[in-house]
């Protein structure tokens, strides 16, 4: 295996947290303030950035929050929901094998870096990663320079000799544009994008036990 730098997404890729946390968080926040979500809330929020989504929830549901109040309130909701999250099948064994092969690994996630570290520490795998990178806003994974910056921090020579592991189609498109070797893993929240993910990925797997090591 010659690819010695691996860039991992966390939610939906290593952990089963997309439904539990990222679909569940707005509902739980509203519940804590005595509000009931309207039908289609997930579709509405998917089309928005984090700030726009916060403004929408505050305005639409008349939440007693300012934008400044919203972030700590939502972070607490997310932190609580992450306590229910587990690793996807085969993750622990896969990371141990990569470490034994001398691979350098990091997390590049929409989720705040400190939250990623907290979750993966609880699950016993945080020490496999060199660093945790928060990919939000101007530094989101829609921008190729983010992947290049992360690869440089890992000491990589070029995208073709590094691996990006994802479940989200927008980040997959960016990684493909950059020229990385691309592994996509199936997640129920990205089921509608499965045909494109299969087309873009070098390997498309349903869980980490299916990884073809001979191609790496």
Instruction: Name the nearest CA neighbour of 94 among 193, 202, 205.
Output: 205
- The total number of structural domains in the chain stands at 2
- Residue 211 is assigned to a structural domain of this protein: no
In which domain, by residue range, is 153 found?
5-16+86-205
Buried-exposed string 141-157: b where 16+ CB fall within 10 A, e elsewhere = beeeebbeebbebbebe
Q: What is the pTM of this model?
A: 0.91
The residue with tokens 């997959």 is 172
CATH of the domain at 68: 1.10.150
- Residue 216 is assigned to a structural domain of this protein: no
**Do 128 and 169 sit in the same domain of this protein?**
yes
pLDDT by residue for the chain (216 residues), tens digit each?
Answer: 789 999 999 999 999 998 889 889 999 999 999 999 999 898 888 767 678 889 999 999 999 999 999 989 999 999 999 999 999 999 999 999 999 999 999 999 988 999 999 999 999 999 999 999 998 878 889 899 999 999 999 998 899 999 999 999 999 999 999 999 999 999 988 888 899 999 999 999 999 999 999 999
**Do 9 and 98 sit in the same domain of this protein?**
yes
**Do 114 and 37 sit in the same domain of this protein?**
no
Contact 91, 125 (CB under 8 A): yes
């Amino acid at each position: 295996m010659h690819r010695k730098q691996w860039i991992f997404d966390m939610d939906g890729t290593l952990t089963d947290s997309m439904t539990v946390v990222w679909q569940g968080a707005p509902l739980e926040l509203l519940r804590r303030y005595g509000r009931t979500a309207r039908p289609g809330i997930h579709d509405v929020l998917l089309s928005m950035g984090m700030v726009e989504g916060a403004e929408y929830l505050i305005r639409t549901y008349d939440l007693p929050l300012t934008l400044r109040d919203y972030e700590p309130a939502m972070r607490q909701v997310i932190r609580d929901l992450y306590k229910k999250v587990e690793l996807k099948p085969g993750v622990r064994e896969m990371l141990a094998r990569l470490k034994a092969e001398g691979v350098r690994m990091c997390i590049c996630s929409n989720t705040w870096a400190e939250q990623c570290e907290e979750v993966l520490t609880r699950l016993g795998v945080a020490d496999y990663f060199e660093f945790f990178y928060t990919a939000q806003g101007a530094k989101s994974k829609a921008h190729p320079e983010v992947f290049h910056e992360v690869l440089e921090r890992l000491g990589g020579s070029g995208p073709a000799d590094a691996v990006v592991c994802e479940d989200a189609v927008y980040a997959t498109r960016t990684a493909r544009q950059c020229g990385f070797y691309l592994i996509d893993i199936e997640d129920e929240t990205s089921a509608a994008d499965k045909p494109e993910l299969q087309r873009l990925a070098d390997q498309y797997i349903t869980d980490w036990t299916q990884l073809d090591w001979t191609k790496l």
